[in-house]
Structure formats: structure tokens, C-alpha cells
Amino acid sequence: MGCCSTPPGPLMPEAPGQRKVFCVKFQREMAGLDEPPFDTELGQRIYENVSQEAWKMWGEYCKMVLNEYRLNPANPRDQEVLVKHLEEFFFGEGAALPPNYVPPKTKG
């Protein structure tokens, strides 16, 4: 990694929850993840383009996919299916939420 690959920005790391991203799901600036969710190129892409709120939505969607397709997250083939769903969820056609979307109220 060369000296020119360091992104511009503050020299001090930001406090958790203060990092902002333009969320691909909500199509607006929101609080970003504190760190990449995976140590891969896809993990970095999610880190740069997905908000904390959208990542939580993926968690719920992921549970549904696991149950509907009876996937085992420890199985490499099932992991590939999950990755495809994840990429489609965030970066596929129609991935952005409709304008004026209001998330359902959570049971509290």
C-alpha cells in the first residue's frame, strides 16, 4: 500500500457511531458501520456504502433467507447463496428503498 492510498480525512480515528456514509439502501447520509463486517472487498464496499440501520435490516432479511432456503451458514455453498442475497439486497437492481419508506415499528 503506497502513501497515496490513504484516504483524506482526520488523523484521529472517529468515535464509534460518528462516521457517516451515503447509504445505498436509504439514499441519504446516515451513521455508518464502525468497521467492515468482513475482511474482504465486499466487506469494504459495505463499510463505505451501508448505514448501521440498513445493516440491521439485512440481519433480519438474512434470518428470513436462512429459514426459507434452509441454509446452514457453516456450509460453504450456503454461504455463497447468502453472499448473493446480500449483494442483491444492497447493490442489486431495486436495492434502494421506496421514497418515504417508514420501517416497521419493532416490538419493544
Kind of pairing between the strands at 28-31 and 20-23: antiparallel
Q: What is the CATH number of the domain that holds 83?
A: 1.10.3880.10
96 assigned to some structural domain? no
For the chain, the average pLDDT equals 83
Grid coordinates given for 98: 421506496
Residue 104 lies in a domain: no
Interval 56-97: pLDDT, tens: 999 999 999 999 999 999 999 999 999 999 999 999 987 776
Which residues span the domain enclosing 43? 17-91
| pLDDT > 90: percent of the chain | 69
Say which amino acid occupies 70: R
Question: Residue 8 pairs with which residues in a beta bridge?
Answer: none
pLDDT of residue 108: 55
Tell me if 32 is assigned to some domain. yes
Structural domain contains residue 27 = yes
> Is residue 101 situated within a structural domain?
no
* Domain count of the fold of the chain: 1
Q: Does residue 79 lie within any of the structural domains?
A: yes
Q: Which residues contact 93 (CB under 8 A, 6 or more apart)?
A: none
